[in-house]
Structure 1
Amino acid sequence: MPYPEMEGKVALVTGGSSGIGLATVTAFAREGATVILASRSESRAKTALKTIKGAERENVSWIACDVSKGKDVAKLCAAIAKKHGRLDYAFNNGGSGGYVGPVATGDETGWRKTMDGYLTSAFLCLRYQIPLMLEQGHGVIVNNASVDGLRGYPFPGGAAYSAAKHGVIGLTRSAALENAKAGLRIGAICPGWVDTPAIARYLKDPKLKAEILRQTPRGKIASADEIAASVLWLCSDGASYMIGSPLIIDGGYMA
């Protein structure tokens, strides 16, 4: 195992039913960690669990949670504390948004839904994960930001998403500074384009696909497994000096 220190530890992955989340759930389970997959849909979670084969499947359980709702996140962390008595790693990957459109004509309801789904959700997860980890004096939290948290969204209509992800990076850095001396490591990943169900619909449009590939100097977008590998590294002892700084994983997108 690349990370033997993860065996027997407890890891939480929100938005774990597909894409980067599911790849990270599988990666943690492969390292021998006990993994909680948190998501909104039980049916999607059951489908996701079926993709995890062998002994790793026994390490994974599902808990319902809408991370944009404080009560849900509080119940999730309370359930983890009651059953496992600890939380060693958390990957805050879950997120959702609404249609906003260009800034000059943007929809306020969609804006607020996007802020709640991508930024408030990260705050709520940190709000309830940090106290749990402080009790044990250690823990690692990784938030899923984006390269769009470092620059403007490359297509019209994505300003709300970009703004939320900029907020996630600021939130991550601030929380990291507040808790570094207490033994917690809090960081973020900034992926570029990744082959996930959400991006698959873009790739069906030849013009959009060509533009996405043009933005990726490597010539192909990332697999979910590649991003999961970066999450695990940030959680590992090998990244012990990574605190607050976002890790850019983009195939050259921001270079």
Structure 2
Amino acid sequence: MYLEKLRLDGKVALVTGGGQGIGLSTVEALAEAGAKVIIADRDEAVAKTGQASLKAKGYDVDVVVMDVTDSARVNQVADDVVAKHGRIDILVNNAGIARSMTPAETVTDEHWLNVIDVNLNGTFWCCRAFGNYMLKAGSGSIVNIGSMSGFIVNKPQEQAFYNASKAGVHHLTKSLAAEWGARGVRVNAVAPTYINTPLTAFVKDDPKMWDAWIGGTPIGRMGETDEIASVVHFLASDAASLMTGAIVSADGGYTCW
């Protein structure tokens, strides 16, 4: 009975920023559990490369080009997905950017607005567009990718804009959970630690950064993308049916200190 709750057969899921990294691992996890998954990414080439890698493993996933900062496009994709598949059961808001290593006093308007637009506004546009269909159906699960940076101030990198955007995602998650819980839609978030991806590879060549990141993590390593995907899968599934408004830390203990 319990393992059956983790199955997603017959469900339709969409993952933003699904072409690579945490997003692609999440697409694979949901597809392996039986869901029909759509990769939504603003970079069509990246999305199709990710799609091809999963098709080679036997997973039939779709691709749609979507920039989460374009609310009109987000609304259109939501309409198109439901028109094609008849439903949307799971939304994973993974698309995000960092643009770290910039002291607050030097952050330009463009820099601040860009990070907020992708990380916070984009998450809301998607929740609103797809959430409306879930509310009409009386069921659905939304999982937002937040960050441990929504709880703490990272060091040594200076990234007030990123920290603020992810704290916003966390509180948006709780707010939507409170509004939509009685109407059958659950909204949760995952707050990852530093994850081993090509974007973080530079840290291994920076002793100060490496010592701060890994030395500050009780388990002594960065996370892997599949470790975050596993948590997303759980939250998206009926195994987490009692959970809404939760911000699940998957940070190797980094925020324990």
* 1:109–1:99 Cα change, 3 Å: farther
Which residue of structure 1 lines up, in the alignment, with residue 193 of structure 2? 192
Which residue of structure 2 lines up, in the alignment, with residue 26 of structure 1? 28
Which residue of structure 2 lines up, in the alignment, with residue 77 of structure 1? 78
Q: Distance in 1 between matches of 2:10 and 2:100?
A: 41
| Runs of 4+ residues deviating >4 angstroms | 1-4, 97-100
Q: Distance in 1 between matches of 2:12 and 2:107?
A: 41
Which residue of structure 2 lines up, in the alignment, with residue 7 of structure 1? 9
Cα deviation code 1:148-184 (max 9, x no counterpart): 0011132343110000000001111101100000011
Q: Distance in 2 between matches of 1:170 and 1:114?
A: 17
* 1:225–1:97 Cα change, 3 Å: closer
Q: Does 1:239 align with 2:240?
A: yes
RMSD between aligned residues: 1.7
Deviation at 1:104, TM superposition (A): 2.4
Q: Distance in 2 between matches of 1:99 and 1:153?
A: 10
% identical equivalent positions: 38
Q: Where in structure 2 are there 5+ consecutive unaligned residues?
A: none
Cα deviation code 1:61-81 (max 9, x no counterpart): 000000011012111111111
**3-state SS, counterpart of residue 148 of structure 1:** helix
Code of the residue aligned with 1:34 in structure 2: it is K
Which residue of structure 2 lines up, in the alignment, with residue 36 of structure 1? 38
Are the equivalent residues in 1 in contact too, given 2:22–2:225 (CA < 8 A)? yes
Which residue of structure 1 lines up, in the alignment, with residue 122 of structure 2? 121
Deviation at 1:105, TM superposition (A): 2.7
Which residue of structure 2 lines up, in the alignment, with residue 92 of structure 1? 93
Code of the residue aligned with 1:218 in structure 2: it is I
Code of the residue aligned with 1:107 in structure 2: it is T
Shifted more, 96-105 versus 60-69: the winner is: 96-105
TM-score by length of 1: 0.94
TM-score by length of 2: 0.93
Are the equivalent residues in 1 in contact too, given 2:31–2:59 (CA < 8 A)? yes
Q: Distance in 2 between matches of 1:102 and 1:7?
A: 47
Which residue of structure 2 lines up, in the alignment, with residue 49 of structure 1? 51
Q: Distance in 2 between matches of 1:3 and 1:210?
A: 40
Which residue of structure 2 lines up, in the alignment, with residue 170 of structure 1? 171
Q: Distance in 2 between matches of 1:98 and 1:150?
A: 18
Cα deviation code 1:58-102 (max 9, x no counterpart): 2x0000000011012111111111101111111100123556821
Deviation at 1:106, TM superposition (A): 2.2
**3-state SS, counterpart of residue 26 of structure 1:** helix
**3-state SS, counterpart of residue 183 of structure 2:** coil
